Structure 1
Amino acid sequence: MIGISIIIWKKKKKNFNVLPQLPRGCRLTKAQGTNFVLWTIRRKNDIREKTTESEKHLLFFDGYVTNFSELSSVSNLHQLSEESEASLILKGYEKDGIDFLERLNGIFNIVIVDLQTENTIIFNDRYGLLHLYCGENKDLFVFSPDILYVAETINTKDQINLNAIADFLNFEFVIGHDSFFKKLSLVPSASKILINSYGIMKMEKYWDYPYSIGAVQSFEDSVNKCDVLIEQAISRILRLTSRPALSLSGGLDSRTIAGYLNLKHTKFDCYNLGFKRGFCDTIYSKMIAERINVPWHFFDFMNIDYVDLIPEALNCLGYHISYNQCSFYPIFRSERVQDKNDVILDGMCLDAQIGETFSAFTRGEQKTLKDEAGELLYDMFFGIKRPFAQHLFEPEFVNLIVEGCKRRILTSVEHKIDLPLSQLSQYYCFITRVRRYTVGVSLINRYSLDTQFPFYDNDFFDFVLQLRPDFRKDRYMHKVLLMKKFPELAAIPWEKTGLPVGIKPCSIKKKIDSFISEFHYLLNRLTYGHLELGKNRFTLDWRFRNDKQFNKFCIDVLKTRCSFDRYLKNNAIEDLIRFEESGRNYIGLILSLVQVKLFFCQLESG
């Protein structure tokens, strides 16, 4: 798995081969001392230096930092063009200590070893987007992005965490820091970890989404400040890339990035994934690219062989990302894309920051009742209802997947329980859904190209956490920003409404659309899913019913026997397939079950 790994022995180092199998197309750099082995795996075409050493310290770095030019004036560092990122970080650390690391703006993991004492510091960014799993036994600590490797090294592969499995079947992600293995967890975001030479570990968080509605700003001032901060974030990112790629849909987030890139006269390529060139999302994506005159490339979802590629992608990340997040893996894996581009820009999280997500809870200032928070967030993320769970699972697992999930949701947010629901739900989205689900597409794409996240800029995020929640209602702020800054892009229809940005569907149109949607649903059901209308974007449920090879692959995996079957009722798989093939959409649960079964089969096959 691409990224940094380290094994630290608590006492005397054991003699065994600690290095994992090297992924295809990657290279390995390692260092070792009397009580540690440290290595990084990266693509062969990644030429940036990620390791450095001084008389006092050894540093390994993974990720990117965007604010070296600002830090150089404070810490008297040279510019990035003259030295590697790793070298700059080490010089800053040796001058200012941990305080310097806390000022870094970017997405990264850093490991620093004191060469005299062999004390080790492990430090990640505010948001923890580059996953690093940790585990320990009586002899050692292990940190690695390769969760299967960690589980095998500390000998916990046979200790399955059913709570995490229940989370995944429910939401396609695991709640909090848990993993599919007991005694093995994801390193929390904004962590600074110190392990001394005696094998004692201390972990602290240095930042945790400090919500504070500051001095009341007018809506217009907030839009203007949002514009300035996004433009600054894009400019910082562009210092690190010469030819970015952008996954361009007909939505708002990616067109926002496209607008700012065009404003900066940046050359970039746009990629769209769809079923047909005639689908709305693809049409609007192409219109955006043509409006700003940038290259646009289309990939037909139905012509990509996912049957072989998706299991490969899932195995790379230890089955801890959703099947849905692997869609773009075959695209950015292709040589023709890698020849054109050096990085992928991901608009992830903007909708949760300034858009629609959870804006239904923006008016009330009432505090969230602790007893209700778990259930409210469970329903908000479309948790499985108890009657349906009882139809598929044995009673002990039903309790894990319903009441158990609600308790784990509550535990993950209880230290922020006094926030109004609009902010509590947004916080939960940031720390769990975005970090454990949405980021999956970028983690797997790292095997082809690095990903950078313009909207995960520290200054912009600080602004978001002070933003009045009602400004986000109905994506109003985002729409106004687009109409003001890029009116030519706002005039292109939005794939969710089919209307230009800022134009609300009238009540009559909403009723007509609702009637048509209901008619399509009934037609799908009556024809057992074989006559589907109304699809304007690619969906895996459509492919499940129409692609015989994909359908066979899923059904074969679902019917494969494994130890997880004891938690399923006798006819659960047959009923779920029948529901899906009759026009209902249970593809999320079907693919999650496929993934869980692949995980169990992989473990049981040795």
Structure 2
Amino acid sequence: MTTITIPIIPAKQTFAKVKAPHELNLEGICVFAAIGFFLDTDTYWKDQMVLAPASQHILDDNGFLIRSEPWFKWHSNPRPVSFVQALDEFSGLFETIIKEQTIDRRVILPLSGGLDSRTQAVALKKLHANVFSYSYAFMHGYPETKIARAIANACGFEFEGYVISKGYLWSVMDDLAKINNCYSDFTSPRQMAVVKHLQGRGDVFCLGHWGDVLFDSLNLPQLLFEEEVDVLMKKLIKRGGQQLAEKLWQHWGLQGGFMDYFRSRISDLLSQIDIEKTNTKLRAFKSLYWAPRWTSVNLSIFEHISPISLPYYEDRLCEFVCTLPEDHLKGRALQIAYIQRHAPELAKITWQDQRPFHLYNYHLNKVPYNLPYRIIKKIQRTLLAYMGSPCIQRNWELQFLGDSNQTHLIKRLAVSSFHDFIPEPIIKHYSDMFYRGKTLEYAHPMNMLLVLSQFYKN
């Protein structure tokens, strides 16, 4: 027998066998098509599962799961601590974690215009770490690398900026499918476009995933249980995802209706979280099911190059969050205060989500204070579109649009054997609608059809 202990937020999926027919998990695949990741412990197969987070699992010698027992449950036990005391505790714990994960190693730090990586940069700067930092932006997109470069310069880090190029996907997609095993779409992990440049640049990645969930609030009022389920369903289902899932559900002749099945799954999972307050409960739900099955799936791309560290995934930080009053977690307050206290020069650099404002004046990002910036950006976008270079905001725009990309995408979906799995009329419907101008409404279904075609091929 083998005992496997899974962290609170695991960085990778660990698979086990279960006694069931070796058949496709069609209900689970429909959920995957709707939301972009598999729910709970689901996989493509009925006789395979992913081991649940925050639990200890016993497997037999053949890899079959015998039993599981949770060793941690998300909870809400806020202590009567002041914000300043919470900030002191966060500072000490976060820096301890960063030090433990990076000591005596050259760090590769992906930088963005947001707060998670900026908070890491402050800690690494304080620890005098040896850091290579980088960022990337879309071709014809917002120049995010400008903010990242300013952060790196203020910290004295080595820095490189990269551009996500048009159509890179088709030369790397087969490799990407092997790395993430088709458990995510192929355009979301844009790091695949630049990962070849990071080979040999350091000893460990310091990745900032999930900080924006742990150290923020959904700012919802207290809701009834069914209202909480409604919120989750709305947040989970991607644009066009419900329609695609329902088409597949009907084609495969599954019992009942997809939305009834999906609601029952979400209700069951949410009911198992013993937390009363809505915002805290939904944070726990996302950390239990969203992070391990969506965010973590493509961490393997980084790990393909160098070992990874994830300070916000650390068990101690998750446990710490469970002991804080919800008010201390709202609006990224702890991260903002940490940066202001320890690196005020970084706090004065533009916060991308609040541009053109920074961490001292972002509260001015409202009418009339932000009108001049919004007007200028509107004019710039209009001029770029008029000149045939519209502003790129999403990776699928670079990988799916244009004649060459269309040829590649349609070719991948036109394999006759794939039509045994998903019929050609469904594929043609989505392809036609996508390339007739309804790109935003049909982008997610095209993403999911592409990944399902690659899974079926493999």
TM category, shorter: 0.7 to 0.9
The match for 2:306 among 449, 453, 461 is 449
Q: 1:427 to 1:268 in 2, by over 3 A?
A: same
1:593 is the counterpart of 2:453: no
The match for 2:366 among 506, 510, 535 is 506
> CA RMSD for the aligned pairs?
3.4
Task: State how far apart, in whole Å, the 2-side matches of 1:462 and 1:331 are.
Answer: 34
Task: State how far apart, in whole Å, the 2-side matches of 1:197 and 1:434 are.
Answer: 29
Q: Return the offset for 1:519.
A: 8.9
Give the equivalent residue in structure 1 for 2:126.
263
Aligned length: 451
1:437 is the counterpart of 2:299: no
Q: Return the offset for 1:567.
A: 9.1
Task: State how far apart, in whole Å, the 2-side matches of 1:178 and 1:198 are.
Answer: 20
| Contact 1:332 1:445 (8 Å CA) reproduced | yes
In the superposition, the TM-score normalised over structure 2's length comes to 0.86
User: Larger relative CO (CA 8 A, sep 6+): 1 or 2?
Assistant: 2
Q: Return the offset for 1:203.
A: 2.2
1:552 is the counterpart of 2:407: yes
Q: Return the offset for 1:163.
A: 2.0
SS at match of 2:353: coil
| Contact 1:213 1:465 (8 Å CA) reproduced | yes
Bigger shift: residues 262-271 or 241-250: 241-250
The match for 1:340 among 193, 196, 201 is 201
Answer 1 or 2: which has greater helix percent: 2
Q: Partner amino acid for 2:342?
A: K
SS at match of 2:161: strand
Task: State how far apart, in whole Å, the 2-side matches of 1:564 and 1:516 are.
Answer: 49
Answer 1 or 2: which has greater strand percent: 1
Q: Return the offset for 1:214.
A: 2.9
Q: Partner amino acid for 1:328?
A: Q
| Contact 1:250 1:284 (8 Å CA) reproduced | yes
| Contact 1:541 1:586 (8 Å CA) reproduced | no
Q: Partner amino acid for 1:446?
A: E
Map 1:9-158 → 2, pairs under 5 A: 119-137=1-19, 156=22
Map 1:195-344 → 2, pairs under 5 A: 195=59, 202-239=66-103, 241-276=104-139, 279-302=142-165, 305-334=168-197, 337-344=198-205
1:416 is the counterpart of 2:273: yes
| Contact 1:393 1:568 (8 Å CA) reproduced | no
1:375 is the counterpart of 2:233: no
| Contact 1:545 1:551 (8 Å CA) reproduced | yes
Q: Return the offset for 1:328.
A: 1.6
In the superposition, the TM-score normalised over structure 1's length comes to 0.67
Q: Return the offset for 1:435.
A: 0.9
1:163 is the counterpart of 2:27: yes
Percent identical among aligned pairs is: 17
| Contact 1:333 1:447 (8 Å CA) reproduced | no
Uncovered stretches (5+) of structure 1, i.e. residues with no partner: 1-118, 139-154
Task: State how far apart, in whole Å, the 2-side matches of 1:406 and 1:271 are.
Answer: 41
SS at match of 1:310: helix
Q: Partner amino acid for 1:120?
A: T
* Greater gyration radius: 1
Map 1:471-550 → 2, pairs under 5 A: 471-498=328-355, 499-502=357-360, 503-504=362-363, 505-509=365-369, 532-533=390-391, 535=392, 539-544=394-399, 546=401, 548-550=403-405
Task: State how far apart, in whole Å, the 2-side matches of 1:516 and 1:564 are.
Answer: 49
Task: State how far apart, in whole Å, the 2-side matches of 1:200 and 1:558 are.
Answer: 35
1:576 is the counterpart of 2:433: yes
Task: State how far apart, in whole Å, the 2-side matches of 1:516 and 1:388 are.
Answer: 37
Q: 1:245 to 1:418 in 2, by over 3 A?
A: closer
